[in-house]
Amino acid sequence: MELTTKHIIAGGKALARHENGKTVFVRGALDTETVEVEITTSKKGFDEAQVSSVVSPSSQRVTPTCAHVTQGCGGCDWQHIDTSHQSTLRQKIVAESLRRIAKVEHTVDAGPSLPDFAYRTTMRCGITEGKVELNKHASHETLPIPDCKIVHPKMLDLLTNSGFGNNTEVTIRVSDTTGERIVLAETDRGVDLPDDVRLVVTSNRPSGEYITETIAGQEIRCSAESFFQPSREAAEALVEVIQNMIPDDFAGTLLDAYCGVGLFAATVAPNARVIALESSASAIEDAKVNLGEAARIIETKVEDFVCPPVDIAIADPPRKGLDKKGVKAILNGNPSQIILVSCDPASFARDTALLIEQGYALGKVVALDNFAQTSHIETVANFQRATSDV
């Protein structure tokens, strides 16, 4: 069936309509191009489809450099799109989420320039018969022995030159700064790794095994089990965008909510008094090292914390966003400025609506290219309290 697409929506697919008006979400298409598609799923209100051939290509279409894309790899859903257009699409998707969900018309800026390939330093991988396999899109099938173009060279070497024994899944983490490599696995049975690689077998206690990255001139420790941004450059870009939202001489109280290993509190405001909140035990151990003794670091769920007065709050919640409980907890501190970091445009727009409802005005919004070749979008925005003094 032939369709002409309209725009790209959150999640990375192109929106099109059947002749009968039914909505079709097309994977592998660009905005405003004519494509032949195969319907992959048919629901009452919409169909999902995959491009089978391109009839009239967009000028932004490029040939994917990775052979796995045509084999159906579920990883890079945007490798067929020129990288500068990917950036434009990210801005448009965030603006559209704000318009549709928060009912706000707002400009969205591009973030700092980031590498297009060979960037990912943390990856969770499925294992079959001791080897890493990539999942195919919308399928239980896998692709053997990946030659993945977006992972860091130190990671690619590990993916191809290791045996992962009886594991079904491993998490691999490498440091771009030091070259250190860690594999977090379910078992050590049958595992065969290059000599420099440290193996950590999952348990419910932090292992104490970590890598170190240098971000914005600061050494940041990150344990095998802790969250970290997808690459060193992505972490640097986030820090740069947030730093630009905070006055250079800021020396008030900074809340870093969902702080992970303390990346933001360690880098964006050197003279601030820091309160850092995090629920993961291993990230808390890292934050203690990264933020030093002067910081107040609390192992808690953000929504359970009774926040004292703070001047600026940074919040970087997981995909579901702050939600009403997270917003309430942060507003207890009555910050003049809130900097929201989000990995999901829909929850970002929902949280924006909640903050506006509570008297905060949306300031700068930046869509970052932290996950090049994929439709993932990282957004940073700042909000000022109506009677702000920062």
Ligand X SMILES: C[S@@+](CC[C@H](N)C(=O)[O-])C[C@H]1O[C@@H](n2cnc3c(N)ncnc32)[C@H](O)[C@@H]1O
Residues near ligand X, by CB under 6 A: 227-229, 258-261, 263-264, 277-280, 283, 301-303, 316, 318
CB of 326 to ligand X, least distance (A): 7
Among residues 66, 73, 222, 343, the one annotated as catalytic is: 343
DSSP secondary structure string for all residues of 138-184: TSS-EEES---SSB-HHHHHHHHS-EETT-SEEEEEE-TTT--EEEE
Q: How far is the CB of 297 from ligand X (least distance, A)?
A: 12
Smallest gap from residue 315 Cβ to ligand X (A): 9
Our CB check for ligand X shows the closer of 88 and 279 to be 279
What would the two tokens of residue 231 be?
Answer: 């690459």
Q: DSSP for 72-94, please give it.
A: TBSS-TTTTB-HHHHHHHHHHHH
Minimum Å gap between C-beta 279 and ligand X is 4
Distances (CA, A) of 81 to 57, 76, 150, 238, 383: 11, 10, 15, 23, 32
Cα separations in angstroms, 138 against 8, 75, 128, 150, 278: 19, 11, 18, 20, 33
Burial of 58 (0-12, 13-18, 19+ CB in 10 A): buried
Which of 228, 348 has the CB closer to ligand X?
228
Contact 314/256 with Cβ under 8 angstroms?
A: yes
Nearer to ligand X, 190 or 318 (CB): 318
Phi, psi for 84 (deg, rounded to 5): -70, -30
Query: Given CA atoms 257, 263, 269, 275 in this order, what sign does their dihedral have?
Result: positive
Between 73 and 340, whose beta carbon lies closer to ligand X? 340
Decide whether 208 or 318 has the Cβ nearer to ligand X.
318
Which residues are within 8 A (CB) of 64 and not within 5 positions of it... i.e. 6 or more apart? 70, 76, 79, 80
User: Toward ligand X, which CB reaches closer, 3 or 277?
Assistant: 277
- For 29, the token pair is 């298409």
- Structure tokens belonging to residue 118: 């060979």
Nearest-CB residue to ligand X?
Answer: 260
Query: Least CB distance from residue 339 to ligand X, whole Å?
Result: 11
In order of 87, 217, 322, 379, the CA distances from 328 in angstroms are: 33, 34, 9, 21
- Min dist. Cβ of residue 25 to ligand X (A): 26
The residue (of 93 and 339) whose beta carbon lies closer to ligand X is 339
CB 360 within 8 A of CB 219: no
Question: What are phi and psi for residue 47, nearest 5 degrees?
Answer: -115, 155
In the complex, minimum distance from the CB of residue 228 to ligand X, in angstroms, rounded to a whole number: 6
Over its C-alpha atoms, the chain yields an Rg (Å, rounded) of 22
80 neighbors 61 (Cβ within 8 angstroms): yes
Least distance (Å) between residue 304 CB and ligand X:
8
Q: Which of 86, 267 has the CB closer to ligand X? A: 267
Tokens 């405001």 belong to which residue? 269
Question: What is the amino acid identity at position 356?
Answer: I
- 222 flagged as catalytic: no
Residues designated as active site:
343
